[in-house]
């Protein structure tokens, strides 16, 4: 029997114990800070990661690179998704369920997972973006309001957010937003500023607040996610609803990028970083950030030194990616240096897994990238207690 993830205080008397069968998992970063990262951010390891890898065949390893959506109004569909061997699930929509109800469902999924324990993720920011609104979750203010709190109060809020999510069986929050919206431009910034998802108007303010929230989440075993790199604070359109979102001004030394660098340096957590699906011509004029090796590998991994889990924004339903076949989306993201493919709709995932597995079988260089991504996510799972 193996423990999977954090304890479920007040709603589960014991830790999540599950029997791992010989099925899909992968490998990721080692815990050793001195290890040398590979081209996709993954140091080599001969520990729990290696043991997990030995239990998985090639396709099962690829499946660990996917976090598939489960609608909160149809949680019963989650079991079928989990049994495919995906690396995690993303709860989308809104719910007033109690923490105990959610934890019970998450525990059942962990039991059903044929490989390593699951990432169980959701968006819990505040304001309009608050997934959980049941009796065990406080009503969270917008990030703008959160950013005005004194640091001790903000850190206390982050701690309460982490405790509530952990109690509900969650181990990943796709937050906090790390994008910088310049003062006076909020209304024209559709995805962030217009709905008050930003913590401030300068990189320094945003980074300090993001680190406070990230630390609070991580204190309860909930992995924070800094998003949307290299920044959506100055775009006009929303990549969820627009096929072509471009930021012509953000370059490698921009304040948008500095907010991520500063936040990563300030937090004691080991967060994920979510990629934007916009185009940044000053960095890569040809590709959206999620599919750009200059952005993911060159800027985030090599220049900023980030060797952790890089997760995509939605690669299933977002209008920004609709012109690219689903399988190619997954291949291009991993080719750029990404780790976890997020799909709000779980439907395309089998075809995406097939596409990645087929490309890896044909292309040794791509197979090495896949191996590095698998090792990165498994190392993060090892740290989260999801491997044993």
Q: What is the pLDDT of residue 388?
A: 76
- Which tens digit of pLDDT belongs to each residue from 133-155? 999 999 999 999 999 999 999 99
The pLDDT of residue 36 is above 70? no
Cα 227 to Cα 8, 109, 132, 359: the distances in Å are 27, 26, 19, 28
Q: What is the pLDDT of residue 44?
A: 45
Average pLDDT, the chain: 90
* pLDDT category of residue 295 using cuts at 50, 70 and 90: very high
User: How much of the chain, in percent, has pLDDT values that exceed 90?
Assistant: 86
Q: Mean pLDDT over residues 122-127, rounded? A: 98
Q: Mean pLDDT over residues 207-231, rounded? A: 98
Q: What is the pLDDT of residue 241?
A: 85
HSE, CB side, 13 Å, CA atoms: give it for residue 28.
29
The pLDDT of residue 230 is above 50? yes
Q: Mean pLDDT over residues 47-51, rounded? A: 92
* pLDDT category of residue 302 using cuts at 50, 70 and 90: very high
The pLDDT of residue 21 is above 50? no
- pTM recorded for the entire structure: 0.88
- Which tens digit of pLDDT belongs to each residue from 238-292? 999 888 999 999 999 999 999 999 999 999 999 999 999 999 999 999 999 999 9
State whether residue 145 is helix, strand or coil: helix
Task: Choose among 267, 265, 336, 330: nearest CA to 304.
Answer: 265
């Amino acid at each position: 029997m193996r423990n999977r993830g954090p304890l479920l205080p007040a709603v589960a008397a014991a830790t999540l114990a599950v029997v791992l069968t010989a099925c899909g998992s992968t490998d990721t970063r080692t815990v050793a800070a001195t290890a040398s990262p590979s081209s996709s951010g993954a140091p080599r390891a001969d520990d729990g990661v290696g043991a997990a890898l030995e239990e998985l065949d090639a396709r099962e390893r690829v499946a660990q690179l996917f976090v598939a959506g489960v609608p909160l109004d149809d949680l019963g569909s989650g079991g079928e998704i989990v049994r495919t061997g995906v690396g995690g699930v993303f709860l989308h929509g809104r719910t007033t369920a109690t923490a105990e109800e959610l934890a019970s469902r998450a525990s059942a999924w962990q039991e059903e997972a044929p490989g390593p324990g699951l990432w169980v993720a959701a968006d819990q920011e505040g304001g309009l973006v608050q997934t959980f609104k049941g009796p065990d979750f406080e009503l969270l203010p917008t990030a703008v309001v959160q950013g005005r709190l004194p640091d001790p109060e903000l850190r206390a809020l982050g701690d309460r957010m982490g405790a509530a999510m952990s109690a509900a069986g969650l181990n990943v929050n796709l937050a906090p937003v790390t994008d910088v919206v310049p003062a006076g431009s909020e209304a024209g910034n559709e995805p962030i500023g217009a709905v008050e998802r930003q913590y401030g108007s300068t990189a320094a303010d945003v980074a300090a607040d993001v680190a406070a929230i990230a630390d609070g989440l991580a204190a309860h075993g909930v992995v924070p996610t800094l998003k949307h790199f290299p920044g959506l604070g100055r775009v006009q359109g929303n990549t969820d609803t627009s096929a072509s979102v471009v930021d012509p001004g953000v370059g490698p030394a921009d304040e948008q990028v500095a907010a991520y660098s500063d936040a990563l340096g300030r937090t004691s957590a080991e967060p994920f970083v979510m990629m934007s699906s916009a185009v940044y011509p000053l960095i890569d004029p040809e590709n959206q950030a999620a599919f750009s090796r200059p952005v993911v590998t060159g800027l985030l991994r090599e220049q900023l030194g980030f060797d952790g889990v890089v997760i995509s924004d939605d690669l299933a339903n977002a209008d920004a990616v609709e012109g690219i076949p689903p399988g190619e989306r997954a291949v291009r993201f991993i080719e750029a240096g990404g780790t976890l493919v997020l799909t709000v709709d779980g439907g395309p995932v089998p075809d995406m897994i097939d596409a990645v597995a087929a490309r890896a079988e044909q292309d040794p260089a791509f197979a090495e990238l896949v191996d590095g991504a698998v090792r990165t996510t498994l190392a993060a799972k090892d740290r989260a207690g999801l491997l044993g």
